[in-house]
Amino acid sequence: MAQNLRSNRQVSVCLPCRAVGSRPASAPALLFLSLLTSALPARADYAVNLQTPATGLANQVYDLHTLIVWICFVIFIIVLVPMGVALVRHRKSAGHEPAKFHHNTLVEWIWTIIPVLILVSMAWPATQLVVQMKDTSKEDLTIKITGRQWKWEYEYLGDGIRFISNSATSNEQIAGKQQKNEHYLLEVDKPLVVPTGRKVRIVLTAADVIHTWWVPALGVKQDAIPGFIRDAWFKVEQPGTYRGQCAELCGVGHAYMPVVVEAVPPQQFATWMQDQKTQLAAAEEASGKTYSLDELKARGEKVYAANCAACHQPTGMGISGAFPALSGSKIATGDKAGHMDIVLHGKPGTAMAAFGPQLSNLDLAAVITYERNSWNNKVGDAVQPSEIAARKK
Amino acid sequence: MQSPTQTHHTDVYYVPSSSIWPIVGSIALLTLAAGFVLYLGKVAAGPYVMGAGVAILATMLFGWFSTVIKESLAGKYSDQVDTSFRWGMAWFIFSEVAFFSGLFGALFYVRLITLPSLGHADLVWPNFEGVWPSAGPGLNKTITPVGAWGIPALNTLILLSSGATVTWAHWGLQKGRQAQLKLGLALTVLLGALFLGLQIHEYAEAAFSIRDGIFGALFYMLTGFHGFHVLLGTVMLTIILLRAMAGHFTPDRHFAFEAVAWYWHFVDVVWLLLFVFVYWI
Amino acid sequence: MYTATATDTHGHDHEHAPTGIMRWIASTNHKDIGTLYLWFSLFMFFFAGTLAMMIRAELFQPGLQLFQPGFFNQLTTMHGLIMIFGAIMPALVGFANWQIPLMIGASDMAFPRMNNWSFWLLPAAGLLLISTFFVPGGSIGGGWTMYPPLFIQGGIGYDMAILSVHLMGISSIMGAINIITTVLNMRAPGMTLMKMPLFVWTWFITAFLLIAVMPVLACAITMLLTDRNFGTHFFDAAGGGDAVMYQHLFWFFGHPEVYIMILPAFGIISTIIPTFSRKPLFGYVSMVYAVASIAFLSFIVWAHHMFTTGMPVAGQLFFMYTTMLIAVPTGVKVFNWISTLWRGAITFETPMLFALAFVILFAIGGFSGLVLALVPVDIQLQDTYYVVAHFHYVLFSGSAMAIMGGVYYWLPKWTGHMYDERLGKIHFWLTAIAFNITFFPMHFLGLAGMPRRIPDYALQFADFNMIASIGGFLLGASQLLFLYTVVKCVRGGAPAPARPWDGADTLEWTLPSPAPYHSFVTPPLVK
């Protein structure tokens, strides 16, 4: 990823051509850039083109875009030149007398038909590429992606591996209390890992609202629609980390829903899979134990920050009229069972999601315990993972 | 909307002097909307505010149309004004066509695209068939639709007959047979009311509600908006009947009658489509 | 082109303008109502512009500085909604009200009272919409497109927004019926359809689009309302509904809506360019056909807003081809404008400067539209700042700048005073330059991968965002000069002759300036 980003951060990457220096740069883009750069400090972040492609598809999209921009640019010049000539030579102040002509059928036909031909020449490569993009058959592995407010869930179909990928950018960085690091807003706690050189088919859905899974370098952008299944595919050529974001407005956390894909060689991918299975077993075991209130509260605070604080706020006060306060709420200070139910099953018709399928029993127990014993809430009871397991049934 | 007393058509297009009715109409709709918002926000005053909005709206419509009728009777409307009314009504009905196209578009989209693709989404809904009529995969409801050949078929007959009676009334008007005009209109109003009565009965008997998935939603939205238009049409026909009894229409100047007849035929056509695509197939 | 025989503007029983507040509240005069529309639009332009300034202030740097994300989403949503329904559309209807009767030799609009109602629904709708900022849960933050299921989640403000859009829709439909009837039935003797000024033609076709699509929007948002409040499942898969169906309904309205905002702008430009080239419009007939083709195509391209929703390949291809086709009639228009300039006797008054900038900048917007039409490229650019750049090139340097040019062009006829040419030119240059500083870098941001509708962004987007914000502030400040210039012109200035532009040949210039309160009471005879 670092390599990938770096190439995008060079001033010299110019609009219509990727191979820097090998072809003449686009005049307006360069002119514009030189105007800008002369006025600003030399922090060079002026990426002006699509990100460096990492898949065959993205590469073809890149080239198609380059082609179209060039065609448009040439037409633009063809249009501007006579306009410029007229503006200079046919001015009244230059003593030009107006002509009287007001139509010319032949010319009008010509400039109707020629654009049609140009359009056909653009449509041809685009059509071929569309057909390729939509062909999700003959995949090597399938990953189910579920968009949730505001995180991605990945499930390797057939392997039983399932995890949630949360943004890893801290609130302190967002609030400007801490230096923002290099991958600000583009980093997650647990990336999606895929093998290189394999055709990965992704099937997408969403749990609450529409999200869009997007990784520019992979050339994939696909809406995840609640209740429906959509698919797309990619085949990463080079190992690396590729970063993207949710692209469809999905509520207050829309900007904080990054996608990170780590492409690794197939052998390494196999090892990673094995590791995941081992970890899964360990988590299962951890959920069987009993914990003290303090242990649960400490763990719950982290779970709360990652999953609940966006709406209910770190203070537990919510946002008046939109998201209810937990501090002092009847549910969070009332009966344990009621509290577990709303966290496990959510509240239909509101932004409150069902966390039952998203978090481990231990995390669920921890966050509920935290909510019952923080801010103004002093219930004093602890919820154990085993109680969650029982309640789920 | 021309008066029988009119003796000459002026050349100047009648531009009315200033009128308070439009702003009253805006206040009415704003009040209605505000009341509705209060109602949705579960404020007790909501329905009363809505009621006030409806009352202001009714006052406005009464006042506005009274003015128009007075102007018409005073002979202020030239042939050109009459043509404006015709275009205006025609384009208004076109906008209604567009509205129902949207609703029918939703119906066809759900039947042809949504349900099949939900049926194929095994990863989300493992056991869902995706065939119309359906209440969707997540609600656990089965839909028993209203059969086409009971009340709906009868209603089709009623509306088609009402289209015939209103045309018969129009013939009477054109030939100067005022009795035929009044009888035809009265019959049409009666048939419209009968249709509404049967529709309400059908709603009361139906085995599903508007909450029962996409079928319930589309069924009640489509037939409900249609029924609302029948109600409006019946009210307008009643007013036209009253105006006919007051002798407002002459064989060659009676656009108000024609406008309502156009509207009634439009409502008729919508029903035929409803009968075919909602009740029958 | 038009010569009118002597017009009788005297001897009518209500010649003089009524006075006091009731003149405006109860008006049935197309000029007064046009003026109301234009002032309303200007107010809304500044209101939504202020929201844009707040957006650019938050985006000045990465991180959250000024607003929380929820409020930021409200800013972007309301900026879009108000600019479209409160600023651009009412401004164009204002032009229609003032100009159509004057240009076709009619005494007024066909339905003067309904005309008043069309306007006075707008303040009611505006009040309802803006007051959402003050209700629990705040204003709407689901985007101006109001996509479910996100839109289902909001508070009471969302219902208010739906009702407000309903009111604006009623207003638009009534306004459109009025315009279409006026054009069909109120033309002066001799003013055949193919003699009508192009501005009238564009509005005639726009009115048709409005009547055809506004009801579909009403239908879609009514379903939203019942989904939100009455337990229907139109857009909920669990009940067999479909969130994407909303997008189809919305964009079936939404794409023609784009042309509703640009076609009358084409009409304004097609009026200004011949005037200041002192040469008749080139290819009048093909212009009319081009507008009609664009309108027709606008009904069969809507799903190009939805390429990433995952439609079948045949659907993607169909909508790609139809979308690309729009370039043909649009190209014809641009070529015709340039041919009109060719061998004219060109002068550069403020309206002409806006028109020329329109031709160039709208062309850029058209090219980026073509880039977006190609499905594979659109997949990369959908929902990025590239799209934001594209539609601002079409809607700001397109519609809004055409409106500004039109205002300068007709201000002498409306007010009876010449505007301050020097200030007008300064306003033009500031606007044109600031506009490009603001929006050109957004193409790069989108290409490099910055999603739209985010309050906070990754570090590699920081520099262009800062530039865009600086440009945005300049653009916003420049519009204060517009306000000042317009107010100054309304209050006084050099008296305007009946025909201040020697190349202008439409009927309104046969009337004195300002146009008398009642004009063409007896229709002129057009030869």
- Per-residue model confidence as pLDDT tens digits over C190-242: 999 999 999 999 999 999 999 999 999 999 999 999 999 999 999 999 999 99
For residues B140-155, average pLDDT: 90
Catalytic residue among C206, C270, C384, C469: C270
Q: Is the pLDDT of residue A203 over 70?
A: yes
SS3 state at A200: strand
pLDDT at B1: 37
Cβ atoms B24, B63 nearer than 8 A: yes
Residue A108 C-alpha, separation from nearest chain C C-alpha, in angstroms? 7
Tell me how many residue pairs between chain A and chain B have CB atoms under 8 A apart.
20
Q: Which domain holds residue A358?
A: 288-392
pLDDT at A393: 73
Instruction: Report the distance separating Cα A65 and Cα A50, nearest Å.
Output: 9
In a shared domain, residues A155 and A263: yes
| A176-192 pLDDT per residue, tens | 888 999 999 999 999 99
Inspect the interface and report whether the beta carbons of C211 and B84 lie closer than 8 Å: no
pLDDT at C44: 97
Residue B76 C-alpha, separation from nearest chain C C-alpha, in angstroms? 14
Q: What percent of chain B has pLDDT over 90?
A: 84
pLDDT at A45: 59
Polymer length of chain A: 393
Residues in CB range of C314: below 8 A, 6 or more apart: none
Average pLDDT, chain C: 94
Average pLDDT, chain B: 92
User: Which amino acid belongs to residue C107?
Assistant: S
Question: Which is nearest to B87 in space by CA: C191, C90, C109?
Answer: C109
Cβ atoms A296, A382 nearer than 8 A: yes
Pick the last residue of a domain from A235, A253, A279. A279
User: Which amino acid belongs to residue C186?
Assistant: M
Considering only CB atoms, B117 lies closest to which of A144, A203, A228, namely: A228
pLDDT at C2: 56
| C375-431 pLDDT per residue, tens | 999 999 999 999 999 999 999 999 999 999 999 999 999 999 999 999 999 999 999
What ranges make up the beta strands (E) of A196-323?
Answer: 200-206, 211-215, 220-224, 230-234, 240-245, 258-264
Instruction: Please indicate, yes or no, if residue A112 is contained in any of the structural domains.
Output: no
| B53-83 pLDDT per residue, tens | 999 999 999 999 999 999 998 989 999 999 9
Peptide bond connecting C514 to the previous residue in cis, omega within 30 degrees of 0: yes
Lowest mean pLDDT among A343-352, B105-114, C86-95: A343-352
Burial category of B112 from C-beta neighbours within 10 Å (exposed 0-12, middle 13-18, buried 19 and up):
exposed
Lowest mean pLDDT among A19-33, A198-212, C76-90: A19-33
The encoded tokens of residue B132 equal 């119309």
| Higher local confidence (pLDDT), C334 or B3 | C334
Catalytic residue among C31, C166, C187, C305: C305
C409 catalytic, yes or no? no
Q: Using pLDDT thresholds of 50, 70 and 90, give the confidence band for residue A274.
A: very high
Q: Which B residues in the span 68-87 are in contact with C, Cβ-Cβ below 8 Å?
A: 80, 83-84, 87
Task: State the CB neighbour count (10 A cutoff) for residue C305.
Answer: 22
In a shared domain, residues A253 and A146: yes
In the CATH scheme, what is the code of domain B79-280? Answer: 1.20.120.80
In a shared domain, residues A255 and A352: no
pLDDT at A318: 85
Instruction: Please indicate, yes or no, if residue A231 is contained in any of the structural domains.
Output: yes
Inspect the interface and report whether the beta carbons of A227 and B123 lie closer than 8 Å: no
Q: Is the pLDDT of residue B2 over 60?
A: no
In the CATH scheme, what is the code of domain B1-77? Answer: 1.10.287.70
Q: What is the CATH number of the domain that holds A262?
A: 2.60.40.420
Q: What structural domains does chain C harbor?
A: 30-510 (1.20.210.10)
The encoded tokens of residue B32 equal 């209605």
Q: What is the CATH number of the domain that holds A336?
A: 1.10.760.10
Task: Give the start-to-end residue ranges of the domains of chain B.
Answer: 1-77, 79-280
Average pLDDT, chain A: 85
Q: Is the pLDDT of residue C27 over 50?
A: yes
Cβ atoms B277, B104 nearer than 8 A: yes
* Crossing angle for the helix pair C156-185 and B79-109, to the nearest 10 degrees: 140
B154–C contact, CB cutoff 8 A? no
In a shared domain, residues A155 and A253: yes
| C180-195 pLDDT per residue, tens | 999 999 999 999 999 9
C452 catalytic, yes or no? yes
The encoded tokens of residue B15 equal 């531009």
| C30-49 pLDDT per residue, tens | 999 999 999 999 999 999 99
Peptide bond connecting B149 to the previous residue in cis, omega within 30 degrees of 0: no
Q: Using pLDDT thresholds of 50, 70 and 90, give the confidence band for residue C246.
A: very high
Q: Which residues of C315-339 are buried (b: 16+ CB within 10 A; e: fewer)?
A: bbbbbbbbbbbbbbbbbbbbbbbbb
Task: State the CB neighbour count (10 A cutoff) for residue B49.
Answer: 19
User: Which amino acid belongs to residue B62?
Assistant: F
Instruction: Please indicate, yes or no, if residue A122 is contained in any of the structural domains.
Output: no
The encoded tokens of residue C168 equal 């604006």
pLDDT at A32: 52
Instruction: Please indicate, yes or no, if residue A385 is contained in any of the structural domains.
Output: yes
Instruction: Please indicate, yes or no, if residue A147 is contained in any of the structural domains.
Output: yes
In a shared domain, residues A161 and A49: no
Spatial strand order of the sheet with A240-245 comes to A192-195, A258-264, A240-245
Best residue in A37, A254, A260 to probe C by mutation, most C CBs within 10 Å? Answer: A254
Lowest mean pLDDT among A300-304, B232-236, C108-112, C455-459: A300-304
Number of H helices, E strands in chain A: 12, 10
Q: Is the pLDDT of residue A19 over 70?
A: no
- The DSSP output letter for A190 is S
Q: What percent of chain A has pLDDT over 90?
A: 52
**What is the ipTM score, two decimals?**
0.93
Inspect the interface and report whether the beta carbons of C113 and B21 lie closer than 8 Å: yes
| A205-240 pLDDT per residue, tens | 999 999 999 999 999 999 999 999 999 999 999 999
Pick the last residue of a domain from A257, A279, A301. A279
| A67-109 pLDDT per residue, tens | 999 999 999 999 999 999 999 999 999 888 888 888 899 999 9
Q: What percent of chain C has pLDDT over 70?
A: 97
**Tally of domains in chain A:** 3
In a shared domain, residues A175 and A269: yes
The encoded tokens of residue B170 equal 């129009």
| Higher local confidence (pLDDT), C8 or C344 | C344
SS3 state at C113: helix
Residue B178 C-alpha, separation from nearest chain C C-alpha, in angstroms? 31
pLDDT at B10: 54
pLDDT at A14: 36
Best residue in C281, C341, C442, C456 to probe A by mutation, most A CBs within 10 Å? Answer: C456
SS3 state at A202: strand
Residue A102 C-alpha, separation from nearest chain B C-alpha, in angstroms? 34
Q: Using pLDDT thresholds of 50, 70 and 90, give the confidence band for residue A386.
A: confident
Q: Is the pLDDT of residue B36 over 80?
A: yes
Instruction: Report the distance separating Cα C141 and Cα C143, nearest Å.
Output: 6
Task: State the CB neighbour count (10 A cutoff) for residue A27.
Answer: 12
Best residue in A132, A183, A249 to probe C by mutation, most C CBs within 10 Å? Answer: A249
Considering only CB atoms, A205 lies closest to which of B120, B123, B138, namely: B123
Instruction: Report the distance separating Cα C492 and Cα C436, nearest Å.
Output: 33
For residues A191-200, average pLDDT: 96
Catalytic residue among C164, C330, C368, C431: C330
For residues B160-177, average pLDDT: 95
Q: Is the pLDDT of residue A321 over 50?
A: yes
Q: Using pLDDT thresholds of 50, 70 and 90, give the confidence band for residue C90.
A: very high
- B219 alpha-carbon distance from chain centroid: 16
Q: Using pLDDT thresholds of 50, 70 and 90, give the confidence band for residue A382.
A: confident
pLDDT at A355: 87
Task: State the CB neighbour count (10 A cutoff) for residue A289.
Answer: 11
**Degrees (nearest 5) of the Cα angle C433, C434, C440?**
85
Instruction: Report the distance separating Cα C178 and Cα C114, nearest Å.
Output: 8
SS3 state at A164: strand
Q: Is the pLDDT of residue A28 over 80?
A: no
Whole-Å CA distances, A334 to A327, A372, A375, B109, B142: 12, 9, 15, 46, 37
- DSSP letter string, C325-377: HTHHHHHHHHHHHHHHHTTS-B---HHHHHHHHHHHHHHHHHHHHHHHHSHHH
pLDDT at C421: 96
Q: Which long-range contacts (CB under 8 A, 24 or more apart) does C1-6 make?
A: C1/C195, C1/C280, C1/C505, C1/C506, C2/C195, C2/C505, C2/C506, C2/C507, C2/C510, C2/C526, C2/C527, C3/C510, C3/C526, C3/C527, C4/C105, C4/C188, C4/C507, C4/C510, C4/C524, C4/C525, C4/C526, C5/C524, C5/C525
| C329-360 pLDDT per residue, tens | 999 999 999 999 999 999 999 999 999 999 99
